[in-house]
Amino acid sequence: MIYLDNSATTPLCREAREAMLYAMDRFGNPSSLHKVGQEAAGLVADARSGILKTLGVRNPADGVLVFTGSGTEASNLALQGTVQAKARHAGKTILTTDSEHPSVENQMKRFESEGYRVVRIGTGNGKLDLDAVDRELESNDVFLASFMLVNNETGAVYDVAEAFARIQRKNPGAITHCDAVQGYLKCEYRPEKLHADLMTLSAHKIGGPKGIGALYVRQDILKRKYLSPLILGGGQEKGFRSGTENVIGIAGFGAAAKAVLPVWKENGERTAGLRLELKERLTALGFRVNEPETAAPHILSVTLPDIKSETMLHFLSAKGICVSSGSACSSHAKEVSRALTAFGLNAHDADCTVRISFGPDNTEEDVRLAAEALKEGMDTLVRIRK
């Protein structure tokens, strides 16, 4: 099998597997004060500290990490928690992009139904429209901004750092949230450099287990009480996510982050090389690569010549090659991809686009075989009648 769908999920790395097996025998409740409970609490604390270090946060006075059940839950906590906490404050405008992950976009639809003004900033050709950001800041009504770092379908890297810096200069009271799930440990992702108050992370995009995510929260947000919990109960995770912690998942998350940290730049250079090689091969064969102005090193968006992406996916799968047609979270949706149309594709081309995403285990041989299989599919499959 050739696995080229690492943006959907990654194989569990050896370090995460070993840490999870170890944690399975430390069965105590982390809230218990006896030895067995404190062993489990120690695993949670070690993972939390390790992940914070990957974010460049070594001083607990700078920020905290709240473990959640997924990246989606982390983004929900960031957005709903901010809106609930700041409802009593001035400001009714929320900025986001026109190509966010459903975990953010569907929240925005809810906020609109509640009377908030949501402005979706354009991302044509994978470039964030900073002039549009400036125009919206003239009113001083912006109280929340949520921009993803790397688009999960096109691989576009958005200039979040500049956008957030402008927002905070113009409106220091605004809260900035970054969905960094696709960019974490793959490109520049540290919250301080991105001017992000809140940042969403997910374990299974970096070799960790599914079912565990995290929200980074800058300490000042806590001091100003600008975040409210969504799940109430025993007060775990500093009161922001009640419920007994998923010790096994947290241990796996921490181990995966620790394993990737020393080699993330090397991994990025390597996957960028594979991405470039496949891009050149496919371009020469007549495929259209949707190249953002700034591209993440691991994602390649390719438009097929009049062949439905779903048809090509089945063809490739039969040959043991795994790619996707976009976000795995919305793969069953019948609508045209918002991310691809925001990039600039029409509905027809969006329906003919596949996403190929690399991980540290991929090889040049994978690239060669994938290119050959795509060429065979292009020559074999029935094309759409326009």
pLDDT at 334 over 90: no
Q: Is the pLDDT of residue 113 over 70?
A: yes
**Confidence check: pLDDT of 27 > 70:** yes
* Per-residue pLDDT, 317: 97
Instruction: Name the residue with higher pLDDT: 186 or 89.
Output: 186
Query: Which pLDDT score, from 0 to 100, does residue 58 have?
Result: 87
Please list the active-site residues. Answer: 329
Tokens of 34: 């006896």
pLDDT-based confidence at residue 219 (cuts at 50, 70, 90): very high
> With pLDDT > 70 as the criterion, what percentage of the chain qualifies?
96
Average pLDDT over residues 158-185: 97
Q: Nearest CA to 374 among 324, 321, 298?
A: 321
Q: What is the pLDDT of residue 89?
A: 63
pLDDT of res. 81: 96
Residue 17 predicted with pLDDT over 80: yes
- Confidence tier at 195 by pLDDT (50, 70, 90): very high
Higher pLDDT, 324 or 139: 324
pLDDT exceeds 90 at position 345:
yes
Pairing of strands 353-357, 63-68: unpaired
Q: Each residue of 308-319: pLDDT tens digit?
A: 999 999 999 999
pLDDT of residue 88: 61
pLDDT value at residue 326 = 64
Q: State pLDDT tens for residues 239-251.
A: 999 999 999 999 9
pLDDT over threshold 70, residue 197: yes
What does the pLDDT read at residue 384?
A: 65
Each residue's pLDDT tens digit, 268-295: 999 999 999 999 999 999 999 999 999 9
- Percent of residues, the chain, with pLDDT higher than 90: 88
Residues 313 and 4: their CA atoms lie apart, in Å, by 11
Query: Which three-class secondary structure string do you get for the chain?
Result: CEECECCCCCCCCHHHHHHHHHHHCCCCCCCCCCHHHHHHHHHHHHHHHHHHHHCCCCCCCCEEEEEECCHHHHHHHHHHHHHHHHCCCCCCEEEEECCCCHHHHHHHHHHHHCCCEEEEECCHHHCCCHHHHHHHHCCCCEEEEEEECECCCCCEECCHHHHHHHHHHHCCCCEEEEECCCCCCCCCCCHHHHCCCEEEEEHHHCCCCCCCEEEEEEHHHHHCCCCCCCCCCCCCHHHCCCCCCCHHHHHHHHHHHHHHHHHHHHHHHHHHHHHHHHHHHHHHCCCEECCCCCECCCEEEEECCCCCHHHHHHHHHHCCEECECCCHHHCCCCCCCHHHHHHCCCHHHHCCEEEEECCCCCCHHHHHHHHHHHHHHHHHCCCCCC
**Least confidently predicted of 88-92, 151-155, 364-368, 371-375:** 88-92
| Two tokens, residue 138 | 């003239």
Domains of the chain: 2-8+265-380 (3.90.1150.10), 14-261 (3.40.640.10)
Q: How far apart are CA 274 and CA 267, in angstroms?
A: 11
As a whole number, the mean pLDDT across the chain is 94
Whole-angstrom Cα distance, residue 207 to residue 176? 27
Average pLDDT of 350-358? 97
Mean pLDDT for the stretch of residues 119-125? 98
* pLDDT > 90? residue 328: no
